Structure 1
Amino acid sequence: MTYTNKSCFSLILIAILSISFANAQTAVISEKKGVISVIESKPKWVDSVFKKMKRKERIAQLFIVPIYSNQSKEKQDSITQLIQKYQAGGIITFQGGPVRNALSLNNIQAGLKIPALVTTDGEWGLGMRLDSTVSYPFQMTLGAIQNNELIYEMGQQMAAQFKRAGIQMNFAPVVDVNNNIKNPVINFRSFGENKYNVARKGIAFMKGMQDGGLLATAKHFPGHGDTETDSHYDLPQLNFTRERLDTLEMYPFRQLIQSGIGGVMVAHMNIPSLDSTKNLPSTLSKPIVTAILKDSIGFKGLVFTDAMNMKGVVKYHPKGEAAVMAAMAGNDMLEMVENLPESIKAVQKAIRKNKISRKEINERCKKVLAAKYWLGLNHYQPVYIPNLTQDLNPDDAIVLNTKLAEAAATTLVKPTDSIVKVKDKVLILSLGTGENTLFQQGLSATIPAACISVAKDADQKTVDNICSQLKNFDKVIIGIHDKRPRPRSVLDYNSSVFSLITALVQSGKAYISVMANAYTIAGLPGIEKSNGLWVFYEDSKYTEQAAAKVILHQLTTTGKLPVTINPTFKEGQGL
């Protein structure tokens, strides 16, 4: 055989082997058990590791310690030493950059006998916590979308990005049913007020993540959607009947549990109908965590507390005491434990006093280890640093973000005529920002128009000047923008800018695109009288581009309101 023939033969052989390997990988992925099945099957690796652990290390597996890669080196070194000394079972990452965060994770994991379960709160992607990474839409925006396959795809993309960054678990999706416009803590983080829509979208999001190998967590059990108190700052009380909670708040959780979600996070709320103990957060309640979530609903995955440093728990219970009570209640892992040594000692003392059995602690430790096995941490590999930031910003995320923004676009008042005619004199206003916007740029590239941007704190003189010019225009296209990182229910415009919106509507020339929280429409009385009204739920480059496309008749809207705004605009509406 000649050299050339040998080369050809080698290439063919490599191709055949590559195809066989790819097929084998596909088979492994398709045959991979769900996380609940793995937890219940008790893999041999779990027992082999467990037997080598000291008693204190088994307790330490139940705690999740926060790290911040934007802190000083001294602070990071101190946290690293603490995690490694006590062999903590979990880490939750917060502010910083992807490379700094990955280097910190690699450094910590190198000193652990058993790799830590690395988690984060990434409800709308890594960009919620790490700079230079991708953000996807808020859940209220997703709640308007009618094609849940897009949400599944988003979950898959998140899984790939989180895993590339060294993170194995996402504390998402939020499946609270937000039916209170004054909710200060859930609000735009919820898919909306329709429990069926919340459940369907939560399942799509969860399945996308878990099919991609990222552990998902439904939160905040039994439901944080109908409260006007933020549990970060106080202990909310839910004065609803057991029947109401069962049929409404808990419904999405039951559906996600039946669909195989791996984690559930319990909220810090006092709920007398479920546990009458005064000032007791649900996280510390055995009737709620064990009797309802684990026994009645039958959840077999990992039960997490919400952050244990929140006022909703520490206001009435010191940290060491709270850790013991959370363990006694039935939680498998405690999030954001700030004093790890004190918490471990407190649990050891509780075991000695027979407040909780060592058997219970051991079983929970094994459950954590089983989840780590499902995640592949039995074959842990450090984060590969080269090209990390580039890999975390893939082109397909841009494509998907565009699709999501366009799919969420919702028409509330449909124009009776073409918005722009050839002879029309048009003014394009962007309110809430002092800069020219992508919304204006997208429109003015096609429509000859004047463009004015109005800051949210514009003075009355500026407003009066714009009002005086209205007679010179046939149509006024308006973008209402909320540039805050997290869009609230009420716009933070001053009274002069609010009066401008009223004047624009009364002019009979207004066509309005709301690139803000849908609830903000409730604070704009008379806006339903505009010639055209659309809501895009948030302000991003994707929603601004989608809004321009709608005005130009390049995009037909399909979104439906996921929440009720007022008697005029109710959940499910969309033209």
Structure 2
Amino acid sequence: MLGLLFSVKTLMAQQNSIEKPPFLKYENSAWVDSIMKKLSPDERIAQLIMVAAYSNRTEEHKQEILKLINEQKIGGLIFFQGDPESQVKLMNDYQEASKVPLLGAIDAEWGLGMRLDNTINYPFQMALGAIADNTLLYDMGVEVARQIKRTGLHVNFAPVVDVNNNPNNPVINFRSFGEDKFNVTDKSVAYMKGMQDNNVMTTAKHFPGHGDTDTDSHFDLPQINHSLERLDTLELFPFRKLIDAGIGGIMVAHLNIPALDSTGIPSTLSKPIITDLLKNKMGFEGLIVTDAMNMKAITKTYSPGIVDKDAILAGNDLLEFTENVPRAISEIKKAIQQGLISQEEIDRRVRRVLAIKQWVGLDNYIPMATEQILTDLNTPEANLLNRKLVAASLTVLNNKNNMLPFHELDRVKFASISIGSDNETPFQKSLKLYTKVNDFQLPLKATQAQVLELKKNLEDFDYIITGIHDTSRFPRNRLELSTSVEEFVNELSEKKNTVITFFKNPYVLNKLEHIEKAPGLIVAYQDSKNTQELTAQLIFGGIGASGKLPVSIGGKFQAGDGLQIKGGLRLSYTLPEAAGMDSKVLVNGIDSLMHQAMQMKAIPGGQVLVAKDQKVVFYKAYGLQSYNDTIKVKKDDLYDLASVTKISSAMAALMKLYDEGKFDLDGTLADYLPKFKNSNKADISFRDILTHQARFRAWIPFYKEMYRKNGSYKWWTVKKDSSARYPTKISDNMFLHRNYSDKIAKKIRKSPLLEKKAYVYSDFFFILAPRVVESMVDLDFDTYLQNNFYQPLGGNTITYKPLNKFPLEEIVPTENDYYFRHLPIHGTVHDETAIMLGGVSGHAGLFANANDLAKLMQMYLNMGEYGGKRYIEEETLRNFSKTQFPDSDNKRALGFDKRRPNKNSIVNNTAPDASELSFGHTGFTGTMVWMDPEADLLYIFLSNRVSPTRDNHRLYQLNTRTQIQQVLYDAIKTASEK
């Protein structure tokens, strides 16, 4: 009895979980009744016909469609190639001409991009099959439904629910969610639900299963020779589950399946398959649609019109891509007259079509607007979803010795190879965001000589990151490598230092002999900009990986293989919405302020970087390197950081030395520089010095000390040629005496103190900072910073004396110096004292691009940790970045600037909305960096406002830097209010 009771309850639960197609409730509605009364018998038949429409064809094509609408009264259109604007205009015209609203359909298996230009291509279903989180598939369904409706359509002939268990399948393959029936089912249901919950009709295809074919039904009739038991347990499984889940439509394939119909006729025309199996045995009550009726699988044997009639007799409700509409109507009408099918049955199917039209809202049809359609389709949210899907699909098959993500960036050399590209790829560009990576390209058909040359170039590298690309539009199961390249890939696979990324169909892995031995192996499934960028981020830990292989790869890998990789190690690069910021507010706000600054000649150009939650959400270069040139600023150009050097060099070193117990905030200069013991600065603590209340003078123009009263240089200070006594290069014909740096230190030591202890910003200590640091370490200041911070962080452009490492054209010029050097300053530090110190100082001298500087600042924002490595203790950074004397007028932190309200409580050195916890610095050349732990927000602004002269104060007058900073908070606020 207990067993019987359990069985009954289980059966009842199963029955209760079965959903009906959502449109069925409208079959006998008043609207459907009213339309049925208006339709003649011929017009009723026409409602079952859907013809192909294109939005990229001539006026002649449009008139052909209008003729079918006006004369034949067809029921719907399926749109193929074109663009959204044209399609909407055409659909509006076609709807206006139609007696009954037209049902509009499209094949959008991976989104509108499958058919329409300038729209989003979501990942192919094979890639989607790798995703562990099916809610992402639901979200995709929701978004695809929104886009379909925005283009004036109502039906998506998707998803593909074929279980692809034949690697050589020429027509399904990458269009399938994979070989596992459960995974295929779960993904299909999620995608379907997302669309149907938003009133877009979905159509599972290709019934009864097109996954195990080796013939393309577009060109011939495939035959499937599996047993009924095999078909029932595998191919039919997803369809059965989707029927239970309430799918609205099913598309029937053109297949010859003897186990289901021994006559050999295509399944599209088979009553045993459609009526007996799909309708009666499987209980499907939704819309049954034919595959395209122009495919050679049926047109080789059957004539237009006749084949359409046979499809209706077999049990189909809707004919897709009918080639001869008048004849199709005529033949179906004859079949009714001959008693082969009743008018009542035709009427039931027409009611089903009309019910769908009402369910999608065509009973209250409103023409679709064409304005802003591309903006409406390509929203930030839609693009972010695309990136989420790609990221979730990335599948790591090998990660020997936990190579990925790379942790150590210093003391190793990276090379990248793009096989199948002639130019630097997005993959290679993205790798370079993390560290220095030398890139190489190798053609798919490279010769042995080309391979040998590349191998020679790779000898000095510690790690080789290889991307194997696919030049075709679709990731076909083809390997198009020359023998030399294939052998080279096999060699790489057996090396211990190789990561191979496969931007191709995963089945192709089986054609590479040793690929399964690669220490690092990533499958990205297709070759798109998103897959390339995100795979690079995975390799260096910007994002993680959770994908599972949806198909087996011969004996090398099994479906379900895939390793978990944790992300968040370093910066990732994404869209503002990923970090809770509004793209429109952020991008438009920054763009407008930067363009204003450039138009007002406040700056010739610049770089702006914004990161939130360790995600770079905005990174852009603007304008020109200088007003009198045409060289555009690039994102990897280097800027003179000016006083941002203070927190980027001296403070980094001092905080680390503080952690090590070597630097004492309560100590004095005399503790580290013995010559200061008898000076007036001997008893001043570093806490006062670093908060700029040490009574130091603001500055001394040290370069003026080199001149006599008559304006000439003092004889011992400068020579035209370099020598051991005059090694410090000021310019090409100006070399400073080797002891002059000591003279500068002496001048600081002997300088008088201000009378009152109050905040006065001074460079004095930071000029001395290298000496203080070098008194505690065995390295020179520059080398210490490179070894302990810049190189491990991957900040390869953060450097003193940039001309030693970078070409001049990659360095943005600063001022035309009429005060000291009497020449344009380009490639050397702008600050006069810093150049007199050899270009290395704690107060100025550093150069960097925004991206590399962001790594150091993100480490500060993370309270001392970045890339899986701790650089500075959290307590230290919290201490150094907080206001030291909150009860005084001095709001400075230790080395860092803070929000500084004036007497009227107005803050003008930062954005008004920056938090009390925020800290940062600005620079004389027009730079600013700011970190806000409360918002987890990083902001970097680099410019050369001193070009061509320091007398240009428009950047200050416009307050561009802090106005842009406020835009960041506005973008957060706007996003939170949506």
Q: Which SS does the other structure have where 2:458 is aligned?
A: helix
Distance 1:92 1:84 in 2: 17
What's the secondary structure of 1:308's corresponding residue? coil
Contact 2:27 2:351 in 1 (8 A): no
Candidates 236, 248, 256, aligned match of 2:234: 248
Residue 291 of structure 1 and its aligned partner are, at CA, apart by 0.5
1:200 aligns with 2:186: yes
Partner of 1:445: 433
- Asked whether the equivalents of residues 154 and 400 of structure 1 are also in contact (C-alpha less than 8 Å), the reply is yes
Aligned to 1:469: 457
Matches for 1:23-34 after TM superposition, within 5 Å: none
Partner of 2:511: 523
Is 1:63 aligned with 2:36? no
Answering whether residue 341 of structure 2 is matched by residue 356 of structure 1, we say yes
1:52-451 aligned at under 5 Å gives the runs: 52-278=38-264, 280-418=265-403, 419=406, 421-451=409-439
How far apart are 1:335 and its partner, in Å?
0.4
Q: Which runs of 5+ in 2 are unaligned?
A: 1-18, 564-978
Structure with the higher fraction of residues in helix conformation: 1
Whole-angstrom CA distance in 1 between matches of 2:339 and 2:222: 31
Q: Secondary structure in 1 aligned to 2:319? A: coil
What is the alpha-carbon distance in structure 2 between the residues aligned to residue 294 and residue 42 of structure 1? 20
Contact kept in structure 2, 1:39 and 1:371, CA below 8 Å: no
Q: For 1:166 and 1:494, how far apart are their aligned partners in 2?
A: 47
Aligned-partner Cα distance in 2 for 1:535–1:550: 12
Measured after TM superposition, the shift of residue 80 of structure 1 is: 2.0
Matching residue's letter, 2:527:
D
What is the CA–CA distance in structure 2 between the aligned matches of 1:85 and 1:34, rounded to whole Å? 35
Cα distance in 1 for residues equivalent to 2:233 and 2:93: 46
Distance 1:257 1:391 in 2: 33
Secondary structure of residue in 1 paired with 2:78: strand
Q: Alignment partner of 1:298: what SS? A: coil
Q: Amino acid of the residue matched to residue 333 of structure 1?
A: L
**504-513 vs 372-381, which moves further:** 504-513
For 2:402 and 2:97, the matched residues in 1 are separated by 67
Matched, 1:547 2:535: yes
Distance 2:445 2:531 in 1: 23
Q: SS of 1:38's equivalent?
A: helix
1:359 deviation in Å?
1.5
Matched residues in 2 for 1:93 and 1:561: separation? 33
TM-score when normalising by structure 1: 0.92
Q: CA deviation at 1:546?
A: 1.7
In the aligned structure 2, how far is the partner of 1:114 from the partner of 1:453? 57
Change (3 A) 1:491 1:397: farther
Give 3-state SS (helix, strand or coil) of 2:81's partner. Answer: coil
Cα distance in 1 for partners of 2:378, 2:543 equals 26
Do the aligned partners of 2:499 and 2:518 also contact (CA within 8 Å) in 1? yes
Equivalent residue letter for 1:92:
I
Residue of structure 2 in register with 1:537 after alignment: 525
Question: For the aligned residues, what is the CA RMSD?
Answer: 1.5
SS of residue in 2 equivalent to 1:471:
coil
Please report how far the alpha carbon of residue 392 of structure 1 lies from its aligned counterpart in structure 2 after TM superposition. 0.9
Say whether 1:494 aligns with 2:482: yes
Which of these two proteins has the greater Rg computed from alpha carbons? 2
Q: Which amino acid in structure 1 is aligned with residue 289 of structure 2?
A: F
Q: What are the superposed Cα offsets for residues 521-566 of structure 1, whole Å, 9 maximum, x if unpaired?
A: 1111101111211111111122112211121022221111100012
Determine helix, strand or coil for the equivalent of 2:464. Answer: strand
For 1:344, the aligned partner's letter is I
Displacement after TM superposition at 1:35 (Å) = 4.3
Structure 1 residues 227 and 573: CA distance shift in structure 2, 3 A: same
Q: Is the 8 A contact 2:27 2:352 kept in 1?
A: no
- Please tell me whether the aligned partners of residues 510 and 556 of structure 2 are also in contact (alpha carbons under 8 angstroms): no
Which secondary structure does the structure 2 equivalent of 1:368 belong to? helix
Greater Cα offset, 249-258 or 76-85: 76-85
Shift of 1:353: 1.7
Where does residue 18 of structure 1 map in the other structure?
none
Deviation, structure 1 residue 79? 2.1
| Equivalent AA in structure 2 for residue 306 of structure 1 | D
For 1:66 and 1:193, locate their aligned partners in 2 and report how far apart those are by CA, in whole Å.
31
Q: Indicate the structure whose relative CO is greater, using CA pairs within 8 Å and at least 6 residues apart.
A: 1
Where does structure 1 differ by over 4 angstroms across 4 or more consecutive aligned residues? none
Q: Is the CA contact (8 Å cut-off) linking 2:21 and 2:285 kept in structure 1?
A: no
Report the Cα distance in structure 2 between the residues aligned to 1:79 and 1:51, rounded to whole angstroms: 25
The residue type paired with residue 185 of structure 2 is: A
Q: Deviations over 1:376-410 (max 9, x none)?
A: 11111111111111111111011111111111111
TM-score under structure 2 length normalisation: 0.54
Q: Which moved more, 1:289-298 or 1:454-463?
A: 454-463
The separation in 2 between residues aligned to 1:528 and 1:492, in whole angstroms, is 19
CA contact 1:96–1:129 (8 Å) conserved in 2: yes
| Residue aligned with 1:560, SS | coil
CA distance in 2, matches of 1:293, 1:256: 12
Cα distance, 1:39–1:286 mapped onto 2, change above 3 Å: farther
In 2, are the aligned partners of 1:35 and 1:374 still within 8 Å (CA)? no
What is the aligned partner in structure 2 of residue 514 from structure 1? 502
**8 A contact 1:65–1:83 mirrored in 2:** no
Which sits farther off after the overlay, 533-542 or 220-229? Answer: 533-542
Q: Which amino acid aligns with 1:120?
A: I
State the partner residue of 2:884.
none
What is the Cα deviation at residue 219 of structure 1?
Answer: 0.3
Give, as a single letter, the amino acid of the residue that structure 1 aligns with 2:473: P
Q: Contact 2:43/2:72 (CA < 8 Å) preserved in 1?
A: yes
Deviation at 1:37, TM superposition (A): 5.4
How far apart are 1:272 and its partner, in Å? 0.6
> C-alpha distance in 2, partners of 1:390/1:364?
38
Shift in Å, 1:39: 4.6
Aligned partners of 2:268 and 2:333: how far apart in 1? 20
**CA 1:459–1:382: 2 relative to 1, 3 Å:** farther
Distance 1:330 1:242 in 2: 21
> After alignment, is 283-292 or 528-537 more displaced?
528-537
- The aligned residue for residue 28 of structure 1 is none
Conservation of the 8 A alpha-carbon contact between 1:467 and 1:503:
no
Residue correspondences, number: 542
Q: Which secondary structure does the structure 2 equivalent of 1:51 belong to? A: helix
Q: Please give the secondary structure, in 1, of the residue aligned with 2:305.
A: helix
Deviation at 1:474, TM superposition (A): 1.6
Q: Check conservation: 2:549, 2:559, Cα contact below 8 A.
A: yes
Query: Structure 1: how far apart are the matches of 2:314 and 2:383?
Result: 43
User: After the TM superposition, which of the residue ranges 451-460 and 364-373 deviates more from structure 2?
Assistant: 451-460
* Contact kept in structure 2, 1:178 and 1:192, CA below 8 Å: yes
Q: Tell me which amino acid in the other structure corresponds to 1:407.
A: A
Quote the residue 2:473 is aligned against. Answer: 485
Change in CA separation of 1:445 and 1:289 when aligned onto 2, cut-off 3 Å: same
C-alpha deviation, 1:427, in angstroms: 1.1
